[in-house]
Amino acid sequence: MTDNNQESKIISKGLFWSIIFICILISGGILLLFFLNREYGCEYPVDNGLFGTYGDFIGGVVGTIVAFYSAFLLVKTLQSQENVNQSVIETNNQISIASGKELYNTLLEVFNNKFERFMTCYQNAIDNYVLEKNNELLTGRKAFEKIASEFICNDFNNNNDYLRRTQSAISEYVDFYSNNRLYLAVHFRMLYLLTSLVSTSGLETNDKVLYAKLIRGQLSESEMTMLRYNCHSEYGVKMQKFCNEFNLIKHLPVMQLLEFQEHYNNLKKVAKGENIKELIVGLDTMFITIRKYAKMVLDKDSQRNITYNGGKRYSIVMSVTEDRKKFTLELKKDCGAERRGGGTRLSSAEKALDCYDSSQLEQLFRDYLSDLFYASNFYLYNGKENVSKGNFSKNGDIITYTFVIEHEKRLALSSKQMAERGRNILES
């Protein structure tokens, strides 16, 4: 059916018979002129020269018409063939895309089956925890949370700078790991295999992110804390790559780190009548939001200034230079801010910050920035150093603490920003 339609587009029957009729008409007219006003007789010899002249004349006229028509048909044929080829290419592309999608869906289905099996093994590793405490038998995640809390609530006392404090806390974890190796080794080994499966799957980025979120959604706060120390230790070095790639500890509550125990104790001493858990959650939520904003200002296409409103008295301004090599955080405290009335209660974070004096507040944020830019990514993004003591200034009732982080290359808080640094984006 398609061939017939294509043929009719190339060869028009009306045009074809018109050409034939014109050629016959011209040939007939020439023959008529040949025979007019001539004498005929059998005794006369045939004039071959005259016949040849008339034949050449007829051939020249009719042949020219036929040649033009042949050229016309050739052009139409080539155009038709080009259209057919283009149609074949488009059809093949559609078939290729459809086949590629079908192949990818098959790959996704196979991977999903593997992921479910690995996830089951990971959950089984948690279910295998067993702890007998005070004549009470705990199993599964309850046992893990109890074991982890014994480490987190450890009486850790260290007055060194933040990085040395971190090393001491890691040493504490190594001892803890040795005492609980039976469960922790299997637990974190399965978590490593699960993240490795996603990272090397060959899936599209969006699907990888989805599966990574599924893994991250399984992690409790205690598990993120233990994962953080495990990656810092010799037992979890290989896990550092995947932990950074999938940002597994982005919601890590820093106030339950051993390095922050001094800040926790300072808060606990002052906030006697307050709900200490509420204040700790407020600080953790604030620091998680600051982490999010700091990462945003370091993105190559984002705004260079972001303000976090810490309540009626506090505000935090984060900014970066155009080349993203210098990050500045300004913590402003307005001691004269009116906080009575207004119908809005103080946030947990603001009430918590009120519990720290000036030197404690400066040290709290300095330690947090040291963790954010250096320790939390296992020193893989911006080197290994401490944030210098913040500059302090006072203008009336407003106290400003200024912290500056600089690097010879573009600062990074994500694996994406590290990849962009590798491609020399924003590098000068």
The answer to whether the Cα torsion of 20, 26, 28, 34 is positive or negative is negative
Quick check: 380 and 413 in contact, CB under 8 A? Answer: no
Residue 54, C-beta contacts closer than 8 angstroms, at least 6 positions apart:
30, 31, 34
Q: What is the DSSP letter of 259?
A: G
From the CB of residue 346, how many other CB atoms can be counted at a distance below 10 Å?
15
Q: What is the DSSP letter of 130?
A: E
Rounded Cα gap, residues 187 and 177, in angstroms = 12
**Helix then strand then coil, % of the chain, to nearest 5:** 60, 10, 30
Quick check: 62 and 27 in contact, CB under 8 A? Answer: yes
What is the residue extent of each domain of the chain? Answer: 2-38+46-101, 128-252, 256-428
Q: What is the DSSP letter of 43?
A: T
Three-class SS of residue 427? coil
Task: Walk along the chain (428 residues) and give the pLDDT tens digit of each residue.
Answer: 444 554 455 556 676 677 677 777 776 776 666 666 555 555 656 555 655 666 666 666 666 776 776 777 777 777 777 777 777 777 777 666 667 778 888 888 999 999 999 999 999 999 999 998 888 899 999 999 999 999 998 889 898 999 999 999 999 999 999 999 999 999 999 999 999 999 998 888 899 999 999 999 999 999 999 999 999 999 999 999 999 999 999 999 999 999 999 999 999 999 877 789 999 999 999 999 999 999 999 998 888 899 998 888 899 999 999 999 999 999 999 888 877 665 577 889 999 999 999 999 999 999 999 999 999 999 999 999 989 888 888 888 899 999 999 999 999 999 999 998 887 654 44
Among 157, 364, 135, residue whose Cα is nearest residue 267: 364
